[in-house]
Amino acid sequence: MTDAPPLDTPAPDAPAPSVEIAAWPAQLYATLKTAGVRHASYVPDAGHAELIRRFEEDPEAAAVMLSTEEEGIALACGAWLGGMRSAVLMQSSGVGNCINMLSLPAQARMPLLMLVTMRGEWGEFNPWQVPMSRAVQPSLEAMGVSVVRVEEAGEVAPTVAQAAAMAFGGDQRIAVLLGQRLLGAKKW
Amino acid sequence: MVSVERRAAVKALLAHRGEGEARALVVSGLGSPTWDLHAAGDAAENFYLWGAMGGAAMVALGVAQAQPARRVIALTGDGEQLMALGALATIGAAKPANLSVVVLDNEHYAETGAQPSHTGRGVDMAEVARACGFAETAVARSLAEAEALGARLAEPANGPRLFVVKIGVEAPPRSLPPRDAPYLKTRFREALGFKPS
């Protein structure tokens, strides 16, 4: 279970055109499965809807619905203790709920892969999303989590592939932020 | 209020823990439950939390889902589980048949000066778990009842269980396990057959 997953997950030839923007969640799911991630937990976000659906429907995978995001941090640590690779899916607002629980993977030097869909940064209608959005990267880094951002659909799969390799092969805590520009501003 | 001495309670709860590959895996919540688990006997199959308050039951859920053939016990206190009442909803919805949450309930925050907790003011943790869909819940108020729950923990279940053991507020001498979390992690995984990378 501790062997490093392959680094050579193929990237799409070109960024997906806007009409095919829904392609990246499927690529992301395939990337996670290739990386040996068969377990995921989530507080729902519209940007993760397709990924959640695939985890819920795949008989080879397990999905755990959370009541708050820090549960997912503890859950992923427990899954790793038991030999399983897990990913935690959340919206940017949920990062704030995770802070103290991030002590556990930091102190135990456990792998952690967080996939964070961003709100409050690109055409955001709701200003209440902005303060936590601005705090996501500094607060994660303050708790020892490395942060990588994705803004282009074609970069999602290769970025997550390398993040998974570093997390599970090298005992790193990594959050991949999926920019709101990639996801699109929420329609009101 | 009838209650049990906490170290005797934990010894009774783990009396049928099993051996080898049948041995129950235990995750303890920070503070007194971690000291109690260590006092009951250090083991590679123990994962002690020294922080991350509210995390014990969810760490145990992760272990239970990754190791469906093993019995997994979260051993925690009323204060720690009160911080994670939502985790009981998450566990109730996930329905792991191999996970039991044991709450050592002294109705106080013993580590910080014995301030009263919610369970002494009307909050019933077992009823919360029942309402969250746990398959089995119980409250023990005597050593004999704690011994009976220890025997139940060795039996198969149809879904998650939560057992409350009402314990006294006394604080026995601390029994400190290693604080080195990478060591605790690695030996726990090695006990499950996963070698260090």
CATH code where residue B114 lies: 3.40.50.970
Looking at residue B2, its pLDDT comes to 73
* pLDDT at A86 > cutoff 50: yes
- Tell me the pLDDT tens digit for each residue of B154-176: 999 999 999 999 999 999 999 99
Of residues A3 and A91, more confidently modeled: A91
Looking at residue A22, its pLDDT comes to 62
Looking at residue A2, its pLDDT comes to 47
DSSP type of residue A10: P
Residue A114, beta-bridge partner list: A88, A175
Residues B34, B36: Cα–Cα separation, whole Å: 5
Integer CA distances (angstroms), B129 to A25, A43, B97, B148, B187, in order: 35, 21, 14, 19, 31
In chain A, residues with a C-beta closer than 8 Å to the C-beta of B64 are: 78, 82
Q: How confident is residue B1, by pLDDT bands cut at 50, 70 and 90?
A: low
In chain A, residues with a C-beta closer than 8 Å to the C-beta of B196 are: 2
Q: Taking all residues of chain B, what is their mean pLDDT, rounded to a whole number? A: 97
As assigned by CATH, the class of the A24-183 domain is alpha beta
Number of domains present in the structure of chain B: 1
Q: Taking all residues of chain A, what is their mean pLDDT, rounded to a whole number? A: 90
Task: For residues A10-26, give the mean pLDDT.
Answer: 59
Domain span at B49:
6-175
User: Would you say residue B187 lies in a domain?
Assistant: no
User: Would you say residue B193 lies in a domain?
Assistant: no
User: Would you say residue B181 lies in a domain?
Assistant: no
- Which residues have CB under 8 Å from B20's CB, separation 6+? none
Integer CA distances (angstroms), B52 to A22, A116, A178, B30, in order: 37, 21, 27, 7
* pLDDT at B99 > cutoff 70: yes
B27 CB within 8 Å of a chain A CB: yes
In chain A, residues with a C-beta closer than 8 Å to the C-beta of B92 are: none
Nearest-Cα residue of chain B relative to residue A37: B66
Looking at residue A5, its pLDDT comes to 46
With both helix axes pointing from N to C terminus, report the angle between A153-170 and A23-34 in degrees, rounded to the nearest 10: 20
Of residues A19 and A35, more confidently modeled: A35
Pick from B66, B75, B62: nearest CA to B29 = B75
**B85 min Cα distance to partner chain A (Å):** 9
Looking at residue A41, its pLDDT comes to 98
Task: For residues A80-85, give the mean pLDDT.
Answer: 98
Please say whether the beta carbons of B62 and A80 come within 8 A. yes
* pLDDT at A66 > cutoff 90: yes
* pLDDT at B3 > cutoff 50: yes
User: Which residue bears the tokens 């969640």?
Assistant: A25
Please count the helices (runs of H) and the strands (runs of E) in chain B. 8, 8
Integer CA distances (angstroms), A15 to A129, A133, A151, in order: 28, 25, 10
- Cβ–Cβ gap B52/A62 under 8 Å: no
Burial of A123 (0-12, 13-18, 19+ CB in 10 A): exposed
B86 CB within 8 Å of a chain A CB: yes
Structure ipTM = 0.97
**B17 min Cα distance to partner chain A (Å):** 18
- Cβ–Cβ gap A107/B59 under 8 Å: no
Looking at residue A11, its pLDDT comes to 47
- Tell me the pLDDT tens digit for each residue of A96-131: 999 999 999 999 999 999 999 999 998 899 999 999
In chain B, residues with a C-beta closer than 8 Å to the C-beta of A78 are: 27, 58-66
H or E element at residue B8: helix B6-13
